[in-house]
């Protein structure tokens, strides 16, 4: 990574922390959960504008789901990720942090490692689709930030996820 | 049973006296009241702890200290305090005579007397623990502790540690602290702060604010430093906190990696932990003196939750290399390790007992979580608890009690701290102001 690349990434990360933070942990966006829970979606742009973060989150799809203990990408997940890659190619001004999450079944340590594995699976797929590695970073939240709070498989299935969180900054 | 214990003591004494007449007196003649911690039901030993004497300036400290001694001893499940209103005679002077017949009459096996003096901010506590049957002070159970009035609970805990130790033959654990994560907020936006408390939940102090997620703190062997995982930099990284100054530093931060699950080596000079790079998690060791980093495992599977044996020669850890998380043991220098867990289900968070005899762990099977112990070769597995979610055991300094996190199910699920003996007895919740998780016991304080 060049020095320039590094500083751009740093800006991207800072930008994310400042602007898009309310949408962390996948609380807003696709899947009918948008706007729920008093999440501030300002700054995400007009969802009808194909270059907005809101469009990416809701129309392209910012998250994919995993089977228990797995980090393998399902055919559905690959379809969504291919669309994410395409969007990122068309919108080079954005960087992304890929959040990996686990459900609450499992120990804290194991779930951190599992979340990292899931985030890396997404990162690797996006890189394989031609996205520059320096636009992507991963973070694992393990079981610390469930999206759904019930203790049933219906919730667990939605919590075993990887969410691609965009931030404007990389040359935008 | 009470009657039986007394009879046993009396019989023993009668027997040994008889033998003494015939030959050399066996050691049994001096045997104190004794509780052997092991399998089987133990009827609590009746004891009497009259309010400690105020020998000058002690005021409320005298009763408060004897109260903590009672709470410590009864809290083990091995002792039952006979309430003061059942006492026949009163202790009015620490050095005055004791009417042992009066304490025998209420069936007290041990009598604990004490006196407290306060001068300025200095407090002195002295105590004696008597074997009521023979009217003698238990060997070594007549001591004096001094400190600042702020540390009055520690003085009480030290008294309890000596008495517990003399009667059970095990090390004490009352004069210790527990670092944990204090939680608030809803399940999907939990706020977490590091906090420390006495082992019994008293004297809570916060070490961090709740601005970033903090996880799984661990005490150094000296109790002066704490390792934990923090999201303060935006990404999970291990932080080293100095307990005295609260100064903290991030360990071995490398771009694009996550570090977590840290623990100190028994000499306090090395940190063993998990480092994730490109989605793969392995175990590494970091020398705190040289900064040198050594990779201990090298596999595409998840290797995490490392914990040293007390002699520092081995490390137990968790790996899912077979597809299911299991517990392994490897040399401290690293390697593939040998699997020791063999039962049904998933095993995690192995922690080596400070006594070296057991490894405690979290087990998940058939939709339930358990805290368990096994020998260090995996034999004699014993599950001590069962609930929707129990995890992350930590050892008391004496290796005979475990504390862990219990979390309830559902949207309103909350965490709390619990302790249990390694026999599976005496399961109880540790009182905390709010939800709490990830306890880690300190060593016995100096």
Q: What pLDDT digit, counting tens, does each position of B96-109 carry?
A: 999 999 999 999 99
> What per-residue confidence (pLDDT) applies to B239?
97
> What per-residue confidence (pLDDT) applies to B388?
97
Residue B178: pLDDT band by 50, 70, 90 thresholds? very high
Please list every residue in chain A whose beta carbon sits closer than 8 Å to the beta carbon of residue B348.
106-107, 109-110
Parallel, antiparallel, or unpaired: how do β-strands B248-250 and B237-242 relate? antiparallel
| Nearest Cα residue in chain A from B279 | A117
> What per-residue confidence (pLDDT) applies to A28?
36
CB nearest B279 (choices: A37, A117, A151): A117
Q: How would you write chain A as a 3-class SS string?
A: CCHHHHHHHHHHHHHHHHHHHHHHHHCCCCCCCCCHHHCCCCCCCCCCCCCCHHHHHHHHHCEEECCCCCCCCCHHHHHHHHHHHHHHHHCCCEEEEEEEECCCCCCHHHHHHHHHHHHHHHHHHHHHCCCCHHHEEEEEEECCCCCCCCCCHHHHHHHCEEEEEEEECCCC
> What per-residue confidence (pLDDT) applies to B38?
74
Residue predicted with more confidence, B14 or B89 = B89
- Per-residue pLDDT at B327 exceeds 70: yes
Ranges of each domain in chain A: 3-168
Pick the CATH number of B32-168 from 3.40.630.30, 3.20.10.10, 3.30.1370.160, 3.40.50.10070: 3.40.50.10070
> What per-residue confidence (pLDDT) applies to B33?
82
Q: pLDDT by residue (tens digit) across B42-63? A: 789 999 999 999 999 999 999 9
> What per-residue confidence (pLDDT) applies to B42?
77
Q: Which helix (H) or strand (E) segment is B153 a member of? A: helix B152-168
> What per-residue confidence (pLDDT) applies to B6?
40
- The CATH code belonging to domain A3-168 is 3.30.1330.60
Shortest distance between the Cα of A49 and any Cα of chain B, in A, equals 29
Helix, coil or strand: residue B208: coil
- Per-residue pLDDT at B362 exceeds 50: yes
CB nearest B364 (choices: A25, A105, A147): A105
Helix, coil or strand: residue B333: coil
Inter-chain residue contact A146 with B278, CB threshold 8 Å? no
- Per-residue pLDDT at B248 exceeds 50: yes
Ranges of each domain in chain B: 32-168, 177-441
- Per-residue pLDDT at B181 exceeds 80: yes
Percent with pLDDT over 90 in chain B: 88
Q: pLDDT by residue (tens digit) across A87-130? A: 999 999 999 999 999 999 999 999 999 999 999 999 999 999 99
Residue A169: pLDDT band by 50, 70, 90 thresholds? low
Residue A42: pLDDT band by 50, 70, 90 thresholds? low
Q: pLDDT by residue (tens digit) across A12-28? A: 343 343 334 434 554 33
Question: Token match 């995993």: residue?
Answer: A66
- Per-residue pLDDT at B179 exceeds 70: yes
| Nearest Cα residue in chain B from A136 | B256
> What per-residue confidence (pLDDT) applies to A27?
38
Residue predicted with more confidence, B32 or B409 = B409
- Provide the mean pLDDT of chain A: 81
Q: What is the DSSP string of B5-39?
A: HHHHHHHHHHHHHHHHHHSSPPGGGGPPP----SS
| Nearest Cα residue in chain A from B305 | A109
Average pLDDT over residues A38-43: 52
- Interface test mutation site (partner B, options A2, A70, A113, max chain B beta carbons within 10 A): A113
Inter-chain residue contact B276 with A124, CB threshold 8 Å? no
Alpha carbon distance B62, B125 (integer Å): 9
> What per-residue confidence (pLDDT) applies to B46?
97
- Interface test mutation site (partner B, options A28, A116, A120, max chain B beta carbons within 10 A): A116
Of the given ranges (A49-63, B10-24, B170-184, B391-405), which has the lowest mean pLDDT?
Answer: B10-24
Average pLDDT over residues B262-268: 98
- Per-residue pLDDT at B206 exceeds 60: yes
- The CATH code belonging to domain B177-441 is 2.120.10.30
Inter-chain residue contact B410 with A124, CB threshold 8 Å? no
Inter-chain residue contact B188 with A120, CB threshold 8 Å? no
Beta-carbon contacts below 8 Å between A and B: 110
Inter-chain residue contact A110 with B325, CB threshold 8 Å? yes
Residue B4: pLDDT band by 50, 70, 90 thresholds? very low
Residue A41: pLDDT band by 50, 70, 90 thresholds? low
ipTM (interface predicted TM): 0.89
Residue A172: pLDDT band by 50, 70, 90 thresholds? very low
CB nearest B302 (choices: A113, A137, A146): A113
Of the given ranges (B27-31, B259-263, B305-309), which has the lowest mean pLDDT?
Answer: B27-31
């Amino acid at each position: 990574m060049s020095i320039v690349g590094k500083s751009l990434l740093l800006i991207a990360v800072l930008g994310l922390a400042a602007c898009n933070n309310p949408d962390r942990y996948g609380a807003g966006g696709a899947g009918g959960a948008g706007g729920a829970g008093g999440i501030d979606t300002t700054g995400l742009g007009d969802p009808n504008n194909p270059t907005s973060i809101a469009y990416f989150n809701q129309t392209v799809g910012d998250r994919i789901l995993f089977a228990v203990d797995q980090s393998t990408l399902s055919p559905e997940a690959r379809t969504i990720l291919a669309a994410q890659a395409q969007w990122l190619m068309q919108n080079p001004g954005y960087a992304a942090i890929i959040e990996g999450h686990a459900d609450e079944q499992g120990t804290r340590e194991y779930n951190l490692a599992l979340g990292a594995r899931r985030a890396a699976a997404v990162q690797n797929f996006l890189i394989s689709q031609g996205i520059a590695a320096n636009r992507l970073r991963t973070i694992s939240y393990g079981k610390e930030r469930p999206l759904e709070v019930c203790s049933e498989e219906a919730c667990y299935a939605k919590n075993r996820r990887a969410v691609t969180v965009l931030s404007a900054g990389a040359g935008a | 049973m009470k009657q039986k214990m007394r009879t046993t003591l009396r019989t023993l004494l009668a027997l040994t006296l008889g033998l003494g007449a015939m030959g050399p007196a066996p050691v049994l003649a001096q045997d104190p009241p004794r509780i052997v911690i092991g399998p089987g039901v133990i009827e609590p030993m009746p004891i009497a702890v009259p309010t400690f004497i105020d020998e000058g300036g002690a005021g409320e400290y005298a009763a408060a200290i004897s109260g903590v001694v009672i709470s410590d001893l009864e809290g083990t499940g091995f002792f039952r305090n006979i309430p003061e209103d059942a006492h026949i005679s009163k202790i009015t002077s620490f050095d005055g005579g004791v009417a042992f017949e009066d304490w025998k009459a209420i069936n007290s096996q041990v009598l604990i007397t004490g006196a407290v003096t306060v001068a300025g901010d200095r407090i002195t506590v002295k105590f004696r623990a008597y074997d009521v049957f023979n009217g003698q002070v238990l060997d070594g159970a007549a001591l004096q502790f001094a400190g600042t009035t702020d540390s009055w609970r520690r003085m009480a805990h030290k008294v309890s540690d000596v008495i517990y130790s003399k009667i059970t033959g095990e090390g004490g654990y009352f004069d210790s602290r527990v670092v944990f994560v204090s939680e608030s907020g809803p399940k999907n936006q939990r706020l977490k702060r590091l906090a420390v408390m006495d082992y019994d939940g008293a004297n809570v102090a916060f070490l961090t604010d709740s601005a970033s997620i903090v996880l799984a703190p661990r005490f150094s062997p000296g109790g002066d430093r704490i390792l934990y995982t923090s999201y303060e930099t935006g990404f999970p990284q291990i932080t080293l906190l100095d307990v005295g100054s609260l100064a903290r530093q991030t360990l071995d931060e490398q771009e694009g990696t996550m570090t977590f699950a840290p623990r100190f080596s028994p000499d306090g000079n090395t940190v063993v932990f998990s480092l994730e790079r490109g989605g793969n998690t392995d175990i590494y060791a970091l020398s705190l003196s040289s900064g040198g980093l050594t990779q201990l495992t090298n596999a595409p599977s998840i290797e995490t939750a490392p914990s040293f044996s007390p002699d520092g020669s081995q490390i137990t850890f968790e790996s899912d290399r077979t597809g299911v998380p299991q517990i392994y043991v490897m040399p401290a220098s690293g390697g593939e390790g040998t699997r020791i867990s063999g039962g049904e289900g998933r095993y995690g968070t192995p922690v080596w007992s400070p006594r070296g005899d057991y490894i405690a762990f979290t087990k998940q099977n058939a939709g339930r979580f358990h805290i368990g112990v096994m020998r260090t070769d995996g034999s004699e597995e014993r599950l001590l608890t069962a609930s929707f979610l129990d995890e992350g055991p930590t050892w008391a300094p004496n290796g005979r009690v475990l504390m862990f996190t219990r979390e309830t199910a559902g949207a309103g699920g909350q965490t709390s701290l619990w302790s249990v003996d390694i026999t599976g007895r005496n399961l109880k919740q540790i009182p905390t102001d709010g939800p709490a998780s990830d306890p880690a016991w300190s060593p016995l304080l100096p």
